[in-house]
Structure 1
Amino acid sequence: MAWIVLGFDGTDAEAPARRAAARERHLGAIGAMAADGRLALGVPLLEPDGRVAGSLMVLSGDEPAALEAYLAEEPFAREGVWTRVDSMPGRIAPLPYRRLPGPSGEPPPRRTHTVILAMDGTDEGAPARRQAARPAHLERMRPAATEGVLTLGCAVLDVPGGQMIGSVVVTAHETDAAARAFWEQDPYVREGVWRDLRIWGTRIAPLPYRPLPGSSG
């Protein structure tokens, strides 16, 4: 199980300076969390113009205490970098992911990946559409994970351990257009499961991450 945290920076003129001032403390905190298994993935959310809009953090463990402990330690939350935090329970799909960049790697200088938050419809037929499309979706995601196209796939749940109502996915696409072209072929898009999509660029900093569920190590 997991918690999905979307932290959004302010839009005022001082927002970039607040992030820059807290960045080293943030990297130190999430590095320790990655090493002890509490953080599955943490990445920035980049707007098309390159501006940092916020962060996506995927925490291991679905207990509310895990979320509360993370936010109490996170410098971006404590020091006012994030002016809004949205949190959702989730479940990381166990797929044959490639290992995330380790601590000996170099930070990428530019966007390398894409984050998509995709929410299902809210009509009565939404759960049935997801269940009907899910086997074909997972069949497509397994080779995508093996090939390194899918970095992380996580279902959004209505409550911890509850019903799937959306997805958060991270893919190795350097542009919005490439990511959209990839997902347009997916059953969740073609069969109307996902109804509300938000997309950001991102890059993955090298941290001592543990293998994701389903990873070959």
Structure 2
Amino acid sequence: MRYVIHAYDYTDDQAMGRRLAVRPNHFDGARQLKADGHFVLGGALLDPDGKMIGSMMLLDFDTEDQLNDWLQNEVYISGKVWERIDIKPFKQADI
């Protein structure tokens, strides 16, 4: 099952600092997801001025338990980068 994740950052004055502090670990996690066949694509969500305000990821997991395991270990969650996360099952159009 594929899942599209839209995760929106906290907006307090320290939010960008927290994001940048754990960003290398977040990228390491994304590389591991890719190596394990779970990462399809992802990147930063930007405001009109080009400032990072969140993330979008398209992930592929066999089970919802795998998704939940990833959520438990994602540093952007434990590091208080993402304040709000919207996760929806995703079906790619076959065109």
SS at structure 1 position matched to 2:83: strand
Mark the runs of 5 or more structure 1 residues left unpaired by the alignment: 95-137, 139-217
Alignment length (residue pairs):
95
Instruction: Please state if 1:73 is matched with 2:73.
Output: yes
**Equivalent pair of 1:62/1:90 in contact (CA under 8 Å):** no
Mark the runs of 5 or more structure 2 residues left unpaired by the alignment: none
Counterpart Cα distance in 2 of 1:62 and 1:53 = 29
Structure holding more helix per residue: 2
Cα shift at 1:93 = 3.1
Counterpart Cα distance in 2 of 1:93 and 1:76 = 29
State the TM-score, normalized to the length of structure 2.
0.91
Instruction: Please state if 1:52 is matched with 2:42.
Output: no
Counterpart Cα distance in 2 of 1:57 and 1:48 = 20
Residue aligning to 1:33 = 33
**Equivalent pair of 1:62/1:89 in contact (CA under 8 Å):** no
Residue aligning to 1:211 = none
Equivalence map 1:156-167=2 (5 Å): none
Residue aligning to 1:147 = none
Deviation string, structure 1 residues 79-134 (Cα, Å, up to 9, x no partner): 1100111111111234xxxxxxxxxxxxxxxxxxxxxxxxxxxxxxxxxxxxxxxx
Deviation string, structure 1 residues 157-205 (Cα, Å, up to 9, x no partner): xxxxxxxxxxxxxxxxxxxxxxxxxxxxxxxxxxxxxxxxxxxxxxxxx
Equivalence map 1:1-217=2 (5 Å): 1-61=1-61, 63-94=63-94, 138=95
Percent of residue pairs identical: 36
Counterpart Cα distance in 2 of 1:46 and 1:89 = 23
Counterpart Cα distance in 1 of 2:62 and 2:47 = 29
Counterpart Cα distance in 1 of 2:62 and 2:44 = 22
After superposition, the CA RMSD in angstroms is: 1.4
SS at structure 2 position matched to 1:92: coil
SS at structure 2 position matched to 1:93: coil
Counterpart Cα distance in 2 of 1:33 and 1:78 = 17
Cα shift at 1:35 = 1.3
Cα shift at 1:62 = 5.8
Q: Higher relative contact order at CA 8 Å, sep ≥6: structure 1 or structure 2?
A: 2
